[in-house]
Copies of this chain bind each other. A is one copy, B any other.
């Protein structure tokens, strides 16, 4: 714990507040006595801190259970609904929005379809409409939205600006973080979609127990996100994991071949039913996917490879089996390969995590 000089009263008060809030958030509900014991602070200090936190709306007093005799000890709880965050994916063909409380529990989802060829301002407007529909539908006041984070394909720098988009018209140069923050006059954040999906998978998906993770987000264009030691590795310019842009890897051509006359789900369905041509097509796709994944694996040597992306990750063994087989051939030491369990919600959920990280650090002072 930070050592404080006795005279440094305001800093001391801030630290006491953080310690108490952290303890209460972990405990869920606690009495004043219990909080004093956990934090090591005096009863008087805890009382003062709780008053302040109550005024700010971060905590509330929990009414005593009915039927309790005598004078029950006062109990306090963290108000997870004191604020909310919005996480969204803005992709080529759709928007997915998640509204979550301060515990990260998603209280509302909203989706909309978009066209590949929409102009940037139309795409932004559609994203904004979907976000507002989600927040208004849940009855959350706009001033209670403390941060909005957006995930999108392409290279997004540390400030949340899209520095390169090869798929979305007019997207290169867009300050997506600034745009997203403007909707509620709060902090906006933005990151690459595959990076956020990797973050979500570590938080709530298949990769909870892994530390170094390679996540491949499959789709018309595949991207990858990398976690090192459980933390997102974005790289110097935000381009970490952009192996899909390497022509030699052949991801884009392989994806085009896969869906040339049917949706990916249809091809996987046909293949799983034994259709010969569909099986061959999936086999070719799996091989290309494995070559790119191998380049990532032979660079990072991760604990786990996760394949995600709505419609693709749900293919199951019909895709996973050939991918695993090719990985075993290509990699001197192939890690376990699993499918994402988050369906098409990974990117939005990762955006929620990114927004929560900001709120916990900058607003609540919890990290």
A interface residues with partner B (beta carbon < 8 Å): 155, 163-164, 212, 224, 226, 228, 233-243, 245-249, 291, 294-296, 298-303, 330-333, 335
Cβ of A246 and Cβ of B295 under 8 Å apart? yes
- Taken together as a complex, chains A and B put the C-alpha atoms of A240 and B214 apart, in Å, by 12
- Taken together as a complex, chains A and B put the C-alpha atoms of A224 and B281 apart, in Å, by 34
**Chain B contacts for A233, CB-based, 8 A:** 228, 300
On whether A301 and B246 interact (CB within 8 A), knowing A228-B228, A332-B155, A333-B237, the answer reads no
Closest to A228 in B: B228
Which of A224, A238, A301, A303 lies at the interface centre, i.e. has the most chain B CB atoms within 10 A of its CB? A301
Cβ of A241 and Cβ of B333 under 8 Å apart? no
Chain A to chain B contacts (Cβ below 8 Å), 26 pairs:
A163-B333, A164-B332, A164-B333, A212-B236, A234-B301, A235-B301, A236-B335, A237-B301, A239-B332, A239-B333, A240-B301, A241-B301, A242-B298, A242-B301, A242-B332, A242-B333, A243-B299, A245-B331, A246-B291, A246-B298, A246-B330, A247-B330, A248-B291, A248-B295, A295-B295, A299-B300
- Taken together as a complex, chains A and B put the C-alpha atoms of A296 and B236 apart, in Å, by 13
CB distance from A209 to the nearest CB of B (A): 13
Cβ of B332 and Cβ of A240 under 8 Å apart? no
**Chain B contacts for A248, CB-based, 8 A:** 248-249, 291, 295
**Chain B contacts for A240, CB-based, 8 A:** 299-301
Which of A236, A294, A298, A330 lies at the interface centre, i.e. has the most chain B CB atoms within 10 A of its CB? A298
**Chain B contacts for A300, CB-based, 8 A:** 226, 233, 235, 240, 299-300
Which of A164, A226, A228, A235 lies at the interface centre, i.e. has the most chain B CB atoms within 10 A of its CB? A235
On whether A236 and B298 interact (CB within 8 A), knowing A248-B291, A332-B164, A333-B155, the answer reads no
**Chain B contacts for A212, CB-based, 8 A:** 235-236
CB distance from A50 to the nearest CB of B (A): 27
Cβ of B238 and Cβ of A298 under 8 Å apart? no
**Chain B contacts for A331, CB-based, 8 A:** 239, 245
Contact of A299 among B236, B241, B303, B333 (CB under 8 A): B241
- Taken together as a complex, chains A and B put the C-alpha atoms of A212 and B299 apart, in Å, by 13
Q: 8 closest A-B pairs (Cβ-Cβ)? A: A235-B301, A240-B301, A295-B295, A299-B299, A239-B301, A237-B333, A239-B333, A243-B298
Closest to A234 in B: B301
- Taken together as a complex, chains A and B put the C-alpha atoms of A164 and B300 apart, in Å, by 17
CB distance from A211 to the nearest CB of B (A): 9
- Taken together as a complex, chains A and B put the C-alpha atoms of A29 and B169 apart, in Å, by 64
Cβ of B333 and Cβ of A226 under 8 Å apart? no
Which of A224, A234, A241, A246 lies at the interface centre, i.e. has the most chain B CB atoms within 10 A of its CB? A246
Cβ of A226 and Cβ of B299 under 8 Å apart? yes
- Taken together as a complex, chains A and B put the C-alpha atoms of A234 and B212 apart, in Å, by 11
Closest to A303 in B: B236
- Taken together as a complex, chains A and B put the C-alpha atoms of A332 and B238 apart, in Å, by 11
Contact of A238 among B155, B237, B296, B301 (CB under 8 A): B301
- Taken together as a complex, chains A and B put the C-alpha atoms of A241 and B331 apart, in Å, by 12
CB distance from A352 to the nearest CB of B (A): 24
- Taken together as a complex, chains A and B put the C-alpha atoms of A4 and B56 apart, in Å, by 37
- Taken together as a complex, chains A and B put the C-alpha atoms of A238 and B291 apart, in Å, by 20
**Chain B contacts for A239, CB-based, 8 A:** 298, 301, 331-333
Q: A236-B303, A248-B249 are in contact. List 5 more A-B contacts (CB 8 A).
A: A212-B235, A228-B228, A237-B301, A242-B298, A243-B299
- Taken together as a complex, chains A and B put the C-alpha atoms of A234 and B300 apart, in Å, by 8
